Structure 1
Amino acid sequence: MSWIETWVANASNFLWTYLLAFLLIGTGIFLTIRLRFFQFRFFGHVLKNTIGQIFRKDKHEGTITPFQAFTSALASTAGATNIVGVPIAIALGGPGALFWMWLVALIGMATKYSEIMLGVKYREKNKKGTWVGGPQYYIKKALGWDKVAIGFAFFLMIEAIPSLMVQSNSITTQVEGAFGWRTEITGAIMCVLVALVVFGGIQRIAKVTDKMVPFMVLTYLAVALTVIFANVGELPSVFGLIFTHAFTPISAAGGFAGAGFAQALRWGIARGLYSNEAGLGTAPITHAAAQTDHPARQGLWGIFSVFVDTIVICTISGFAVLVTGTWTEVKPENASNMIGTAFGTLMGDSLGGSFIAIFLLFFVITTVGVLIYFGEKQAEYLFGYKFSKIMRIVYIGAIYVGAIGGLQFVWQFLDLLLAFVLVFNVIPLLFLHKEIRAMTDDYINRYYYKKKGKPSVQLFSDQDVSQ
Structure 2
Amino acid sequence: MEKWIYILERWQKILWGMPMLVLLLVSGALLMVKTRFFLFRKSDLIVRKTIGSLGAKKQQGITSFQAVTTALAGTLGVGSIVGVATAITMGGAGALFWMCVSALFGMMCKYGEVVLAMHYRHKENGVSYGGAMYVLEKGCRMPVLGVLFALFCILASFGIGNITPTNTIVESVRVYLPLPPLFITALLAVLVASLIFGKGNRIMRLNEKLIPFVSVLYIAACGYLLFLHREHLFSAVLFVLQDAFAIDALEGGIGGFVISKAIHFGVSRGVFSNEAGMGSSPLSHAGVVDANPVEQGFWGIFEVFFDTLVICLITGMMILTSDAYGLGLEGAALVIACFQEGFGVWGGILFACAIVSFALPSILGWYYYARECIHYLFTTKFMLHLYQACFLGVLVCCGSFDFVYVWYLADVLNALMAIPNLISLFLLNKDVVKLTKEYLILYGR
Distance 1:59 1:409, change over 3 A: closer
Superposition map of 1:17-96 within 5 A: 17-59=17-59, 63-96=61-94
Alignment partner, residue 427 of structure 1:
423
Deviates more, 1:157-166 or 1:66-75: 157-166
Superposition map of 1:196-275 within 5 A: 196-248=194-246, 260-275=258-273
**1:432-462 residue CA offsets vs partner (Å, 9 max, x unmatched):** 011001110111122223xxxxxxxxxxxxx
Distance in 2 between the 1:238 and 1:411 partners?
26
Distance in 2 between the 1:96 and 1:147 partners?
39
Superposition map of 1:185-204 within 5 A: 185-204=183-202
Alignment partner, residue 253 of structure 2:
none
Alignment partner, residue 435 of structure 2:
439
1:375 has 2:370 as partner:
yes
1:87–1:327 contact (8 Å) kept in structure 2: no
Distance in 1 between the 2:78 and 2:403 partners?
20
- Length-normalised TM-score, structure 2: 0.93
Alignment partner, residue 352 of structure 1:
347
Distance in 2 between the 1:77 and 1:407 partners?
18
TM-superposed deviation, 1:406: 8.5
Alignment partner of 1:186: what SS?
helix
Output the amino acid matched with 2:57.
K
TM-superposed deviation, 1:15: 2.9
Distance in 1 between the 2:402 and 2:96 partners?
31
Output the amino acid matched with 1:430.
F
- Length-normalised TM-score, structure 1: 0.89
TM-superposed deviation, 1:250: 7.8
Output the amino acid matched with 2:221.
V
Alignment partner of 2:101: what SS?
helix
Distance in 2 between the 1:25 and 1:316 partners?
23
Structure 1: gaps (5+ residues): 252-258, 450-467
TM-superposed deviation, 1:202: 2.1
- Following superposition, which runs of at least 4 residues in structure 1 exceed 6 angstroms of deviation? none
1:179–1:354 contact (8 Å) kept in structure 2: no
Distance 1:245 1:4, change over 3 A: same
**1:207-230 residue CA offsets vs partner (Å, 9 max, x unmatched):** 100100000000000000000011
Deviates more, 1:214-223 or 1:413-422: 413-422
Distance in 2 between the 1:34 and 1:229 partners?
41
1:141 has 2:138 as partner:
yes
**1:204-258 residue CA offsets vs partner (Å, 9 max, x unmatched):** 111100100000000000000000011111111111111111121789xxxxxxx
**1:161-202 residue CA offsets vs partner (Å, 9 max, x unmatched):** 122112101111210112223322221221122222222332
Distance in 2 between the 1:260 and 1:2 partners?
26
Superposition map of 1:275-424 within 5 A: 275-331=273-329, 334-348=330-344, 350-386=345-381, 387-405=383-401, 412-424=408-420
Alignment partner, residue 254 of structure 2:
none
Distance 1:367 1:76, change over 3 A: same
Distance in 2 between the 1:353 and 1:20 partners?
37
Alignment partner of 2:341: what SS?
helix
Distance 1:142 1:404, change over 3 A: same
TM-superposed deviation, 1:21: 0.8
Distance 1:281 1:32, change over 3 A: same
TM-superposed deviation, 1:145: 0.5
2:78–2:164 contact (8 Å) kept in structure 1: no
2:31–2:109 contact (8 Å) kept in structure 1: yes
Report the count of equivalent residues: 436
TM-superposed deviation, 1:261: 1.6
TM-superposed deviation, 1:5: 2.8
1:228–1:319 contact (8 Å) kept in structure 2: yes
Alignment partner, residue 16 of structure 1:
16
Alignment partner, residue 254 of structure 1:
none
Identity %: 31
TM-superposed deviation, 1:325: 3.3
Alignment partner, residue 454 of structure 1:
none
1:169–1:403 contact (8 Å) kept in structure 2: yes
**1:336-356 residue CA offsets vs partner (Å, 9 max, x unmatched):** 2111111112111x2222111
Distance in 2 between the 1:328 and 1:338 partners?
9
**1:84-137 residue CA offsets vs partner (Å, 9 max, x unmatched):** 11011000111100011101111111110111111111122346x432110000
RMSD (Å) for aligned C-alpha atoms: 1.9
Distance in 1 between the 2:405 and 2:66 partners?
35
**1:46-81 residue CA offsets vs partner (Å, 9 max, x unmatched):** 111111112122446xx3011111111111111121
Distance in 1 between the 2:385 and 2:38 partners?
40
Distance in 1 between the 2:313 and 2:407 partners?
26
Distance in 2 between the 1:52 and 1:375 partners?
31
1:81–1:275 contact (8 Å) kept in structure 2: yes
Alignment partner of 2:244: what SS?
coil
Distance in 1 between the 2:403 and 2:313 partners?
32
Distance in 2 between the 1:335 and 1:214 partners?
23
Alignment partner, residue 458 of structure 1:
none
> Which structure would you say has the larger RCO, counting Cα contacts within 8 Å and 6 or more residues apart?
2
Distance in 2 between the 1:211 and 1:37 partners?
33
Deviates more, 1:401-410 or 1:364-373: 401-410
Alignment partner of 2:55: what SS?
coil
Alignment partner, residue 98 of structure 1:
96
Distance in 1 between the 2:315 and 2:308 partners?
10
Distance in 2 between the 1:120 and 1:393 partners?
31
TM-superposed deviation, 1:405: 3.2
2:122–2:128 contact (8 Å) kept in structure 1: yes
TM-superposed deviation, 1:410: 7.2
Alignment partner of 1:125: what SS?
strand
